[in-house]
A = this chain, B = another copy of it.
Amino acid sequence: MAASSLKRIDVCLSPELIDLYPLENRTVVVIDILRATSCVTTALAHGVGEIVPVADLEACRGMRSAECCTAGERNGEKVDGFDLGNSPFEYMNPELAGKRIAFTTTNGTRAINKSLSADEIIIGSFLNLHAVVRYLKSGTRDILAVCAGWKGKVNLEDTLFAGALVHELAGDAEPECDAPLMALHLYRQAQHDLAGFLSNSSHVKRLKRLHIEKDIAFCLERGKYDVVPVVRGGVIVKGNLL
């Protein structure tokens, strides 16, 4: 394939940097591995109807009804009075099938809301890595991976997933700048032992203090689910796969 026919892929390592990136004619992949986008992927794979990302905690609380559950976390912990927290295992419950979930998280919701002017937004996690790669390969737009990070700072697990995208899309999308190269180098170093590579990272240490090693191991499984969540009119639904 000639170089000129390649799509381009760039990586925004923190939502704080998003104003530096053009969003027109882009497919944005929002990444919050631990654990927002892993939860969203798991939920839609288990039949949840739609997920509404909400920035404000009290606005989210106010959306609770017979048809709508409330879900989310602050500082890694479930919110008092909410139906669901931020563990992917909570989203496997068959009773949630067809339901609507109002979802607020520290970093993931913020990354989605900052990306809303993009032509298309999809949700990426290791759990749906292969489906996301297939979806991006079938599209024609350039790609921007937006890492949710942690309170504005970069984090290792989101960067690794961005690197996994760059790695898997080699031959289809070309790194546009240094951030995708950094992510790629890190992923290639880490790919055979993601959990080991991440064991010293700040967020993994933070989550281990909350005793959720099981969540971490699950969120690092690659390609478990064949779904691509897409954001349509501000709501996350299951996208169509080829």
Distance of A14 Cα from B13 Cα, bound (Å) = 10
A179: which B residues are within 8 A, CB to CB? Answer: 153-154
A80-88, A96-104, A198-206, A211-219: which one contacts chain B? A198-206
The answer to whether A20 touches B152 (Cβ under 8 A) is yes
Let me know if A208 is at the binding interface, CB within 8 A.
no
The answer to whether A159 touches B177 (Cβ under 8 A) is no
The answer to whether A182 touches B156 (Cβ under 8 A) is yes
Q: Contacts A16-B16, A185-B186 known; A178 to B155 CB distance under 8 Å? A: yes
Q: Contacts A13-B13, A202-B177 known; A151 to B20 CB distance under 8 Å? A: yes
A175: which B residues are within 8 A, CB to CB? Answer: 200
Distance of A203 Cα from B179 Cα, bound (Å) = 12
Let me know if A189 is at the binding interface, CB within 8 A.
yes
Let me know if A181 is at the binding interface, CB within 8 A.
yes
A186: which B residues are within 8 A, CB to CB? Answer: 182, 185-186
The answer to whether B182 touches A159 (Cβ under 8 A) is yes
Let me know if A17 is at the binding interface, CB within 8 A.
yes
A181: which B residues are within 8 A, CB to CB? Answer: 156, 200-202
A201: which B residues are within 8 A, CB to CB? Answer: 178, 181
Within the complex, which residue of B17, B152, B176, B189 is in contact with A189, where a contact is CB–CB below 8 Å? B189
Known: A175-B200, A189-B189. 19 other contacts (CB 8 A): A13-B154, A14-B17, A16-B16, A16-B17, A16-B20, A17-B17, A17-B152, A17-B153, A20-B153, A153-B177, A154-B178, A156-B181, A156-B182, A159-B178, A159-B182, A176-B202, A178-B202, A181-B202, A186-B186
Report 29 cross-chain contacts, Cβ distance below 8 Å, ordered by A residue: A13-B154, A14-B17, A16-B17, A17-B152, A17-B153, A20-B151, A20-B152, A153-B177, A153-B178, A154-B178, A155-B178, A156-B178, A156-B181, A156-B182, A159-B178, A176-B202, A177-B202, A178-B201, A178-B202, A181-B200, A181-B201, A181-B202, A182-B182, A182-B186, A185-B186, A185-B189, A185-B197, A186-B186, A189-B189
